[in-house]
Amino acid sequence: MAISSERSNGFSRSGHGFETTHWSVVLSATQTGPDRDRALERLCQVYWYPLYSFIRRRGYDAHEAQDLTQGFFARFLEKNYLARADAAKGRFRTFLLSCVQSFLANEWDKQSALKRGGGVQIISLDCHSADERFRHELAIDSTPENAFERQWVEAVLESVLQSLASEFKAAGKTDQFELLKIYLVEDKGAVPFSEMARRLEVSEPAVKGIVRRMRQRYRDLFHEEIAQTVANPREVGEEIRYLAGILSG
């Protein structure tokens, strides 16, 4: 299936600063450059939490996991882990997990965390929120690997929601988005369309039309986000099916 970056649905990607940063951009860059660096920074910033949680589930406390997460990214860049990536079968999800497993096994231990990586701010980590989230999720998944994949899916969905919110903001419709996002991320029947029409001071058919376009744009953005994390567009459908299975499992 072709990935559409723009559809005639009333929303535009222009004006909110979103730039497509495919994993293939990172893989294909043989030398360090601004395009590769920006793509890598964006991918790591979006998907750092699954790594943090994976490290916590390997037995490290919150402060150690923070240091190890930052230390991993420092070592990731220093040792050019990208040279190990196979562009023919590259998924950022599996590649990153493999790298951090090797990192924990061979490069670091609890005693070396602060000495070798503590305080190195490679990416911005919301550590307080991360620890709160981790404690809430601790009992959900049985293995660190299962938790990593589930949290990867959640990171994808959060990134998609933020991109859609940015589009509404660029159109001057932030308040509308805050009201209507319930139809995307919560119980879709929790607020009847008639009640939402009253809140927005529009007709019920108008609300249904906005929500229909909003859901379509959400699906488009979801496909695009998945495309950022696979090396070949032909892998998008397979990755979506795999991730959907994680959520339903």
Euclidean distance between CA atoms 167 and 17, whole angstroms: 9
| Domain regions of the chain by residue span | 23-248
Residue type, 131: D
Q: What is the pLDDT of residues 11-38, one digit of tens each?
A: 333 333 334 567 877 776 555 677 777 7
Query: What residues of the chain score a pLDDT lower than 50?
Result: 1-19, 110-111, 113-114, 116-117
Q: Can you tell me which residue has the tokens 């959060």?
A: 158
pLDDT at residue number 14: 36
What number of other Cβ atoms are within 10 A of residue 123's Cβ? Answer: 14
Q: Model's pTM, two decimal places?
A: 0.77
pLDDT at residue number 73: 84
